[in-house]
Structure 1
């Protein structure tokens, strides 16, 4: 690996204890020992891309997903066992042939079958889409070593693990807002609040239909969610819980995201929709049989996996349209041309006056 300080190419024996033997400085992550095969330079590079060169701040969950993308595309299921089974089968076959021990051929065939079984399972997707480092474990396995070496998190990454005063708005104190933003993902809420988006558009931020109903605002309700079964059910639940209110689905459409070659889904076996939930989704008639099967296996596209700048842009645009329509003063000012930049449409009839 390359030393993040002196940029020397280090062999394994030259970096014992996560310390460069050339510049004598410590580094945080070693690809040989880190479960995501990370090094400090890669973390900095990915963080810089996510923050748009430092223009915006991101949350650790967005960094987790970006650093896990490559491993999510591939499957580590039985990789070492498969190779070992094939090598052992070949070795036993050679011994059986030259040692004239026919009984060993049975053991060789068994090992070969094990290797083939693992190979078929990998081809069918076994282990694919399951992150090697769980979202909840990322701070301890990656960010804690980084903080112990550098004292702070990677540039542009918000420290959401410590109290900062930011977070979801208190529904009881949200009177006078132009609308409500419902987002069950606490990390995404912290990301939007850090950018000032809710305050900029007068939106109360909550995480559930019950909290949304408690906000004393009659404005539109924006729903931001993962592209998964839970997200679709959340939108449906809000429309049932808030009859007569305008509920706008701001979440990424599943069919659109799945068609993007750069989009990488992941699955969490602990969060698979129940049979009852799948029956509700089937009754909606908005998903194909293949999509329902995909959702039923626990696959999803999380909000933290979307490019942060793009996510901000989309939510900002929709929230701007909502706040414009809900604020009579802004609407009246726009109608009068107060917010319109003057354009030269003809000769200046005022002359020299």
Structure 2
């Protein structure tokens, strides 16, 4: 690996105890000792890419997915085991045949059969989509090690250990009362990492949106304005808007994504596989008639695409446009302003 400090190439024996044998400085991550094969330079490069060279901030959840992306494409079958079993099976089988030992020859056949099993598992993609390290283990493993060495999270990464506290709204005497939405927009987003990211990017302050993790908390939010729903593109996430509509019949509910059609089957969209949803969940999805049989089968196997997998800049742009559009449609004054071109860029020559 390359030392993140002196940038010298280090052999395994030259970096005992996560310390560079050439410059003597300690580092956080050794690719030989963590499931994602991370090193400090890779973490920094990835965080820099997510934040667009520091223009944005990202969260540990978004960093986890970006660093797991490569391993999610791969199976968890050790190809080396298949090769070793094949060689051992051939050798043992030949020895058994040469000595006319039935037991030895049978053992060789079993070893070859086991090797074939590994090959079949590789072809079938066993383990593909399963995280080598889940989000919680990423926090308590690599990120904890990083903080112990450097004293803080990687550059541009912000803490997402708490869901954002609802900001001030009209009528509650808040300092940002002028920027709050008069129609009481609420955004339901169960993923804490994404909620923290949107809040840190200024979405709540700019549009006066109240972020809500659980739809059950919506009655406590001010106003009777629209409720926007932001969710993962998996079996449970795709039903979230339905749940909110059932619980909030007096408020318009707008599903702003993540839509399954935007990611399913796309080569660059790397999905994650979790627990298989129950029959009742799949029945509701089928009753919605929004998904093809192929998509339903895919969702039924536990596949999905998480919000943390959407590039931060793209996610912020899409959510901002959706909030702006819904807010404009809900506010008569903003609708009139939009109809006369208020706050739009003048045409050339005007």
The two structures have a TM-score, normalised by structure 2, of 0.90
How far has the Cα of 1:135 moved from its partner?
Answer: 1.1
Q: CA deviation at 1:345?
A: 4.3
Pick one of 255, 263, 266 that aligns with 1:257: 263
- Aligned position for 2:192: 186
SS at match of 1:22: coil
Q: Structure 1 residues 315 and 125, CA, compared in 2 at 3 Å: closer, same or farther? A: same
8 Å Cα contact 2:164/2:199 also seen in 1 = yes
Contact 1:175-1:217 at 8 Å conserved across structures: no
Alpha-carbon RMSD across the aligned residues, in angstroms, is 2.3
Structure 1 residue 177: Cα displacement? 4.9
Task: After TM superposition, give the deviation of residue 199 of structure 1 in Å.
Answer: 2.0
1:242 aligns with 2:252: no
Kept after mapping to 2: 8 A contact 1:171/1:212: no
Deviation of 1:328 (Å): 4.1
The question of whether the paired residues in 1 share the 8 Å contact of 2:185 and 2:225 is answered with yes
Partner of 2:20: 20
Matched, 1:104 2:104: yes
Tell me the CA shift for residue 259 of structure 1: 3.3
Asked if the contact 1:167/1:193 (under 8 Å) is kept, the reply is: yes
Report how far residue 251 of structure 1 moved.
1.0
Q: Distance in 1 between matches of 2:282 and 2:167?
A: 33
- Residues 156-182 of structure 1, C-alpha deviation per residue, up to 9 Å, x if partnerless? 000223x6xx70427997995531101
Structure 1 stretches lacking a partner, 5+ long: 347-353
1:94 and 1:250 mapped to 2: Cα distance?
63
Q: 1:123 to 1:47 in 2, by over 3 A?
A: same
SS in 2 for 1:229: coil
* 8 Å contact from structure 1 (residues 176, 216) kept in 2: no
Q: Which runs of 5+ in 2 are unaligned?
A: 173-179
Q: Normalized against structure 1, the TM-score is what?
A: 0.89
Match of 1:222, SS state, is strand
In the alignment, which residue of structure 1 is the partner of 2:285? 281
Using the TM superposition, give the Cα deviation of residue 268 of structure 1 relative to its aligned residue in structure 2, in angstroms: 1.4
Q: Flag the 1:91–1:16 CA change in 2: closer, same or farther, 3 A.
A: farther
Indicate the residue corresponding to 2:307 in structure 1. Answer: 303
Classify the secondary structure of the residue corresponding to 2:65.
helix
Q: Identify if the C-alpha distance between structure 1 residues 283 and 342 changes in structure 2 by more than 3 Å, giving closer, same or farther.
A: closer
Partner of 1:49: 49
How does 1:51-130 map onto structure 2 within 5 Å?
Answer: 51-130=51-130
Find the aligned partners of 1:171 and 1:246 in 2 and give their Cα distance. Answer: 22
C-alpha separation in 2, matches of 1:288 and 1:325: 31
**Alignment partner of 1:223 is 2:220:** no
Cα deviation for residue 78 of structure 1 reads 4.6
Alignment-derived partner of residue 349 in structure 1 = none
Give distance in 2, aligned partners of 1:75 and 1:209. Answer: 36
Equivalent residues of 1:250, 1:315 under 8 A apart:
yes
Query: Which residue number corresponds to residue 175 of structure 2?
Result: none
CA distance in 2 between counterparts of 1:317 and 1:143 reads: 33
CA separation of 1:285 and 1:19: change in aligned 2, threshold 3 A: same
2:213 maps to what in 1?
Answer: 207
* Mapped contact 2:47–2:63 kept (Cα < 8 A): yes
- The DSSP-based 3-state class of the residue aligned with 1:314 is helix
- 2:177: which partner in 1? none
- The answer (yes or no) to whether the contact 1:54–1:156 under 8 Å persists in 2 is yes
Counterpart CA distance in 2 for 1:344 and 1:71 is 50
What CA deviation, in whole Å up to 9, does each residue of 1:100-151 have, x standing for no partner? 4343111011111111112212211211110010111101111011111111
Q: Which position in structure 2 is the counterpart of 1:232?
A: 238
